[in-house]
Chains A and B, each alone.
Chain A
Amino acid sequence: MAELRFGHAINRALEESMRADERVILLGEDIAAAGGPFGVTRGLLDKFGKLRVRDTPISEASMAAAAVGAALSGARPVLEIMFMDFMTLAMDGIVNQAAKAHYMFGAQGSVPLVVRTPHGGGISAGPQHSQCLEAWFAHVPGLKVVCPSSPADAYGLLKSAIADPDPVIFVENKALYAMKGEVPNEPFSLPLGKAHPLRAGTDVSIVTYGAMVHQAARAADQLASQGVSAEIIDLRSLQPWDEGAVLESLAKTHRLVIAHEAVEAFGVGAEVAARMADIGFDELDAPIVRVGAPFVPVPFAPSLEKIYRPDAEQIIQAVQRVMA
């Protein structure tokens, strides 16, 4: 076991994947000599050279489509999009090209592409550097979407994402980059599409992912002192998401709260709630309640952003609603 920061765990997964398979290449803005804006790719240029660790111009639209062309021609690109907000510029490559190629070419070949991108607020980065847009990508058939909550998960899920034959949007919450956590020394991978039952409980299920997992854990601690036993399911993967694990938890607790940092309206939580209202209806003893950001752009002022971002207190209030 080694204690690694979230960003270092991603770096280790990239390095191991590149050593294991010379087809794996890294593309992105400022990822080579500069090591990326959050230092995630630091040191990889020296280890693998500039052919495989390539700084790209600020040309997201072409780079996303180029990553598809490279993947169709035998490479396994890992493309970094510096902030998830910039995915807007890369949408044709990701949505029309990467997501469709395997299907529309009649299952000839595939697009083994990973797009790494940070989401989330908390650093006063303002409306165009803070968004959580993962639901957009989860909505597109052909894309897989992953959002880890810890260094070990980031490492294990990225190993799987790079080995996967399909395009994977790998979402990293930027508030987690400095987080430390235990990561086993031996190489391992975590399966895509499988949730992690983080904490067992009997009264309510809190389904969450990414940085919000830690708010859910804080909420569960406080709820325990109030005599409420909360179970936490960390989804890890958002597309596909582990509806079996959520249903199993709901069958135990009969109450469901879904929490994420992304805007609540039309978010991942809406899909989870709708599916559970359908296949888990008989298990429900209370309405399903979502916790997410308000329908407002992410404001810059720290005082405003603090109010904007959903936190443990809002999860507690949601649990209290379903327990009432």
Chain B
Amino acid sequence: MTKQSATEKDKPVEKDKPVAYAAADLLDLYRRMITIRIVETQLSRLFADGEVPGFIHLSVGQEAVAAGLGGVLRATDTVASTHRGHGHALAKGISLDDFFFELMARDEGICRGRGGSMHVANLSIGMLGANAIVGASVPIALGSALSHQVAGSDAIAVAFFGDGAMAEGVLHESLNMAALWQLPLLFVCENNGWAEFSPTAEQFVADLKNLANAFGIPHAKVNGNQVLEVEQAGQQAVAAIRAGQGPYVLECMTHRWRGHYEGDPQKYRDASELELLGDHDPVMLFQRVLREYGIPDEEIEQMRVAVHAQVEGAVERARQGTLPVWADACRDVYAHTIEVRHG
């Protein structure tokens, strides 16, 4: 069983008073979320067809977290991400071409086909990389926040991590240092109840709230399937951080729809849990909210169709991309190569 009961109904966003959103902002949030959903769904197919090599870890079901925070961050803010990081990169603004060329191992990819899914990065927009080491995003973001502090900038750093990383020592060390130095660092836990192939409840005895509070760091837990709830909590956390109040922990309860990696048969998961995932679909839940805000169904559908066409276009261009060249790939081991070889 996951920590969060799969039978629990996702509650609508609870507000003291309704937050006013412009229709354009709501549609922008929806565009970010539907982009991640369509990209991940396409990747699942491309992987099954052998067009995407390696390991991919999809964030289907968790789109509201990346999408909700994407609208809160500035271009100068930095993000360190996880192995399940496609959504974070897309929400930070990586282009579909940079992304798909990379995942399909082409020379035109943002990492020139050397990183792939687990290392998608775009330093020019503050995306410091997905990461194949569980928990590593946390101290990397810590250092990025430290750099912002030394430079005297008002940028913040964001550390995305999953609940599987809660047992990693670097998280505990980094919570301490972030609090000790009052760094501009937002810890974002995507809590989907699963630490790779095991229920987190069987791996981690503590609770993130208590852990954060032990270091005197404020913690907020939100329904990570409700994008507006994530967005509002994100605004609040980021405002506090930018105001110089130090780090903040945001725990987003969500669900992992797919296996740990694509191809994972998930024999360790109850059928009943998987059957109920649809009730927590962040895309469907947000469509309902959009209707409450008076956005016509046609506009919602038009957005989906437009994004789908953009993704299809990027995939098709990546298919036509060039394979990376070995001689080029050897040249970039160092930024400054010192030639010493003889013979």
Contacts and interface: CB of A to CB of B under 8 A. Distances in A.
Q: Do A and B come from one complex?
A: yes
Interface of A: 25, 51-52, 54, 56-57, 59, 61-75, 77, 92-93, 96-97, 101-110, 141-142, 144, 164-166, 191-193, 237, 240-244, 247, 278-279
B140 A68 contact: yes
Contact of B136 (A52, A65, A103): A65
Contacts of A278: 343
Interface in B96-121: 102, 109-115, 119, 121
The 6 nearest A-B residue pairs measured at CB: A69-B143, A66-B143, A106-B112, A65-B139, A110-B335, A193-B338
A236 B132 CA distance: 34
A278 B343 CA distance: 9
Contacts of B111: 104-106, 108
Contacts of A75: 143, 146-147, 150-151
Contacts of B149: 51
Interface bracket on B: 35 or more
A54 B150 CA distance: 11
B139 A107 contact: no
Contacts of B334: 102, 142, 144, 165-166
A69 B142 contact: yes
21 contacts: A51-B150, A54-B146, A57-B173, A62-B174, A64-B139, A66-B140, A70-B143, A72-B144, A73-B144, A97-B133, A102-B332, A102-B334, A105-B110, A105-B114, A105-B119, A142-B333, A165-B335, A165-B336, A166-B336, A191-B338, A237-B338
Given A57-B177, A69-B145, A74-B151, 17 more contacts: A54-B146, A59-B174, A64-B139, A69-B140, A69-B147, A69-B157, A70-B147, A72-B143, A75-B147, A77-B143, A97-B140, A104-B119, A105-B119, A144-B334, A144-B338, A165-B334, A278-B343
B139 A57 contact: no
Contact of B150 (A52, A62, A105): A52
Contacts of B131: 97
B342 interface: yes
A108 B136 contact: no
Given A70-B147, A96-B133, A107-B335, A243 B141 contact: no
B74 to A, nearest CB: 14
A194 to B, nearest CB: 8
Contact of A69 (B141, B332, B340): B141
A147 to B, nearest CB: 15
A92 B173 contact: no
B129 interface: yes
B272 interface: no
Contacts of A70: 143-144, 146-147, 150
Given A193-B340, A240-B340, A107 B143 contact: no
A102 B335 contact: yes
A105 B113 CA distance: 9
A25 B150 contact: yes
Chain A interface mostly helix, strand, loop or mixed? mixed
A105 B342 contact: no
Contacts of A54: 146, 181
Contacts of B115: 104-106
B140 A72 contact: yes
Contacts of B177: 56-57, 59, 62, 66
B88 interface: no
A72 B123 contact: yes
Contacts of A242: 340
B123 A109 contact: yes
B94 to A, nearest CB: 12
Contacts of A97: 131, 133, 136, 140
A164 B337 CA distance: 10
Nearest to B183: A66
Given A141-B333, A241-B340, A108 B123 contact: yes
B170 interface: yes
B133 to A, nearest CB: 6
A57 B180 contact: yes
Interface in B166-186: 169-170, 173-174, 176-177, 180-181
Question: Which of the listed residues B132, B149, B333 has the most CB atoms from chain A within 10 Å of its own CB?
Answer: B333
- Which of B113, B124, B148, B334 has most chain A Cβ within 10 Å? B334
Contacts of B44: none
B322 to A, nearest CB: 14
B163 to A, nearest CB: 19
A141 B337 CA distance: 11
B176 A59 contact: yes
A242 B342 CA distance: 9
A163 to B, nearest CB: 10
Contact of A103 (B80, B114, B129): B114
A38 B123 CA distance: 37
A243 B342 contact: yes
B147 to A, nearest CB: 4
Nearest to A58: B173
Contacts of B200: none
A102 to B, nearest CB: 5
A52 B174 CA distance: 19
Indicate the member of B147, B148, B149 with the most A CB atoms within 10 Å. B147
B173 A108 contact: no
B112 A107 contact: yes
Given A107-B112, A141-B333, A243-B341, A65 B143 contact: yes
B2 to A, nearest CB: 28
Given A69-B80, A97-B140, A244 B342 contact: yes
A17 B174 CA distance: 28
A166 B133 CA distance: 21
Contacts of B230: none
B78 interface: yes
Given A66-B140, A243-B342, A92 B133 contact: yes
